[in-house]
Amino acid sequence: MLIIPAIDLKDGQCVRLKQGEMNSADVFGDPAEMAERWLEAGARRLHLVDLNGAFAGKPKNLDAVRSILSVVDGEIPVQLGGGIRDLETIERYLEAGLRYVIIGTAAIKNPGFLHEACDAFPGSVIVGLDAKDGKVATDGWSKVTGHDVVDLARRFEDYGVESVIYTDIGRDGMLSGVNIDATVKLARELTIPVIASGGLTNLDDVSALCDVEGEGVSGVIAGRSIYEGTLDFAAAQNMADERNA
């Protein structure tokens, strides 16, 4: 079970949002310094989100991303989502040193693009599915669609996505606990890994996720909890490693 620190980027800074609201951002400092902090604490993957890019539909925090990649220097995989709408952007990011790109809104609105991306960059494309009450949300969570998350995930698995990041948008940034049931329900329907996101709060959540790792839940993204101190990142990863030894 991987505990994956999140570095959300807004206007060149590391921030955290509550339920995706851009005007509710808490600033946590320099992105490269945060990357170094999590690397030194034992992170084995980093999760980046270009928040400005997600709303603009194109990369907006390239300098911050490059500074993070410079710090990581290939030691661990780095994945990024937000504003990825074309193959050229994917190619640029992968050439810069990203291991995975995450396609979210564009996958829902233009499934053909996701299919092309999986064909062009096999093993490097993750799909991000954000949902509320089982229905997928798009456009920075501002629109809830009628698409069922399980049905879409199955289709995208057939396209060749490497894994699925499943975010319960009602819990993200609220420190209210991971929606284990919904995450497991999705993971059971797929053969590719599911990474949980949204609501991770404490070691009890990590323990509960370790209990369902065998169902196909391979990791969890840690955001506000590790920044506000309700979860000690190193302790969480150590516990997960011990549980699954």
- Known catalytic residues are 8, 130
The values of phi and psi at residue 193, to 5°, are -65, 150
Alpha-carbon distance of 63 to 48, in angstroms, equals: 13
DSSP letter at 214 equals G
Alpha-carbon distance of 189 to 72, in angstroms, equals: 34
Number of helices and strands in the chain (H, E)? 11, 12
Helix (H, G, I), strand (E, B) or coil at 21: strand
Are β-strands 135-138 and 143-148 bridged in parallel, bridged antiparallel, or unpaired?
antiparallel
Alpha-carbon distance of 6 to 226, in angstroms, equals: 9
The percent of the chain in helix, strand and coil, each rounded to the nearest 5, is 40, 30, 30
Torsional sign, CA 195, 199, 202, 207: negative
How many CB atoms are closer than 10 A to CB 109? 13
Tokens standing for 158?
Answer: 């057939």
